Chains A and B, each alone.
Chain A
Amino acid sequence: MTAVSTPPRSTLRPVDVLRVGASGPLARRMRTLLSALGISIGIAAMVGVLGLSESSRSALLDEIASLGTNLLTVEAGGGFGAGDSELPDSATGTIGRIATVNEVSGVWDVDADVYRNEFIPEGETGSVRVVAADESLLATLNGTMADGRYLDEATSAYPNAVVGSVAAERLGIRNLDQPTYVQIDDQLVEVIGLLDEFPLAADLDRAVIIGTNAAQEFFDAGDAPAVVYARVVDGAIDETRDVIPANTDPANPEEVTVSRPSDALEAQAAADDALTTLFLGLGAVALLVGGVGIANVMVIAVIERRGEIGLRRALGATQAHIRRQFLTEAVLLSVLGGVAGVAIGAAATVIYATSQGWRVILPTEAVIGGFAAAVLIGAIAGLYPAMRAARLAPTEALRG
């Protein structure tokens, strides 16, 4: 007898593990695509939601920052029986004298109706109000002009008007290329400026603004301001807010309401968070369903491919080799879905954010997290089918 040596054990090179794992999905492409679809929808939803919410939040925060969070709005009302309360006539002056207030502007209601021209029937005002405002209003609100210029010392004494963005639309004024007039009561008033939106004072968007002197002279304007806008020193906002009511109306401080319009925008940014969480949850459900789909497909694959498993065992594959093959296959399926999902989610973010004029922000955590989730789900989904495939006895597998 010659000396006998045990042959070396079976080995499957790592690159061959990948090749063998890919051979199944490559041979059944339609099924591969369909089984990866669930995962890709889940990942796309999560990446898209995170990308869009980050992009929109950053747009909103940019807007808040540009508008400034140091604007306070002072109005009458708030106390019991304060229905017809008014701010004192001197409110603008007293608020302006508070040390921490940088700029102040008042807006007065004018009891007049505005029409595009004399032929519009009475009452068809389109809910456009007439207000009188200080010349400092534009600066106080950080507002910008769409066309023309704002009221100044000269123009505010005469029948000249500046029209808010919504009001301009309702009155049918697109630009001021030609001299444009509107009818306020019986008076023809020249439009000298069109305003952009005031995100911090949306009421003014629906108003036609005239100068305070002109209002007193030509129309019926009250002496008490309806709203006072105050730009406050950054960092002193809360204290200022606390002292304004007593300063404005020492007799009835409870009838003075002070609000901070940027709070509403910040609340909106926070509200988006809740919606994002909801959509993320939906994405996670889709991901889970996708994982179950892959597990299902893999279980079927193991049953269908008993012959292949038996053959591979006959060719020298160990149980571990078979397990690795099917695990790799499941992970490849879900990675395929993950890559597609990240691409779709990113594309959706870029397209939508660009259409909204937002800065495109793709959170790295979302992209990496989505991809990692796909790998993990594939591994978990493939575990049971892979164990089943590995445990199949070669003789039983070859009987199929």
Chain B
Amino acid sequence: MTAALELQQVVKEFPGEPPVRALDDVSVRIDHGELVAVIGPSGSGKSTLLNVMGTLDRPTHGVVRVDGVDTARQSDNEVAGVRSRKIGFVFQQFFLLEGMTAVDNVANGLLYQGVSLAERRDRSREALSRVGLGHRLGHTPNQMSGGERQRVAVARALVHRPAFVLADEPTGNLDSKSTGAVIDLIRELNAEGTTIVVITHDQAIANSLPRQVSVLDGRIQSDSALAVASPAGSQLQAGQP
């Protein structure tokens, strides 16, 4: 079975004197259907880990396999193709385009696959009703609450049926009520089969998810899946709830 995302001995160094090693020999495997929290304090390397997982940044050494495809050896254009089909992003700042309706914002998730506008919009409406925003299709971001905006962003990350969704502090800009709603949504989507990785610094949110990968000083400090399945360190078995 191909993993949704697999990192093997990933090292990421940033140039400097001496070079800064942001990721140090990180290996992690996330299977299809998982819901994983990546947790760590700021400066732990979790943002770098997110960038490498999302193929937005390349590792200095190591292998990053997205749905079985090794992206480390691909050209920029090929990696862009991987992102457009295999990965969905949800950001703390939402990154919705102002002045564009929810439907068109979500439809942008299919833009770089060369799908026609009519089909993009059809699938966008579908994705928006999946996140419970079927009644807000024509609204622009500034007509929506923070929680609604983040649900639009989630719909955009889902619309192209990626191998996994990377959510970077998805509740970082939300009040507690909206936070609960977005986390519930993430659980629901996972229950329907979507693989989701949530990057957070909030221990409570992490604990509420089935698997926690804890990052500190560029290393994986603990991985609940490994602790349960095999303390010896085999990475073949991933924990399933």
Contacts and interface: CB of A to CB of B under 8 A. Distances in A.
Do A and B pair up? The answer is yes
Interface of A: 1-2, 4-13, 15-16, 19-20, 23, 26-27, 307-308, 310-321, 393-395, 398
B67 A4 contact: yes
The secondary structure that dominates the A interface is helix
Interface string B84-125: 111101010101011110000000110111101100000000
Contacts of A319: 76
B56 A398 contact: yes
A12 B112 contact: yes
A312 to B, nearest CB: 8
B55 to A, nearest CB: 9
Contacts of A308: 95, 97
Nearest to B65: A4
A307 B76 CA distance: 19
B57 interface: yes
B112 A10 contact: yes
B68 A7 contact: no
Contacts of B89: 311, 314-315
B80 A317 contact: yes
Contacts of B82: 6-7
Contact of A315 (B84, B93, B100): B84
A311 B157 CA distance: 11
A209 B156 CA distance: 91
A132 B170 CA distance: 102
B69 A314 contact: no
Contacts of A321: 80, 112
Interface in B1-50: 1-2
Given A1-B68, A5-B69, A393-B57, 11 more contacts: A1-B2, A6-B78, A7-B86, A10-B84, A10-B112, A20-B111, A313-B56, A314-B89, A315-B84, A315-B89, A317-B112
Interface string B43-75: 000000001001011000000000111000010
B95 to A, nearest CB: 4
B14 to A, nearest CB: 11
Contact of A11 (B74, B83, B114, B156): B114
Nearest to A310: B95
8 contacts: A6-B74, A7-B84, A10-B112, A11-B113, A23-B99, A23-B100, A315-B156, A316-B113
Contacts of A312: 108, 112
A318 B100 contact: no
A394 B56 contact: yes
A4 B69 CA distance: 6
A10 B81 contact: yes
B80 A9 contact: yes
B234 interface: no
A12 B114 CA distance: 5
B111 A16 contact: yes
Interface in B198-232: none
Nearest to B91: A398
B2 A2 contact: yes
Nearest to B140: A27
Contacts of A27: 97-100
B111 A2 contact: no
Q: Which among B84, B89, B91 has the highest number of chain A CB atoms within 10 Å?
A: B84
Contacts of A315: 83-84, 89, 108-109, 111-112, 156
B111 A4 contact: no
A252 to B, nearest CB: 87
Contacts of B69: 4-7
A11 B112 contact: yes
Interface string B185-208: 000000000000000000000000
A254 B82 CA distance: 94
A207 to B, nearest CB: 72
Contacts of B74: 6
A8 B76 CA distance: 13
Nearest to A394: B56
B106 to A, nearest CB: 11
Nearest to B112: A316
Contacts of A6: 69, 74, 78, 81-82
Contact of A316 (B57, B85, B116): B85
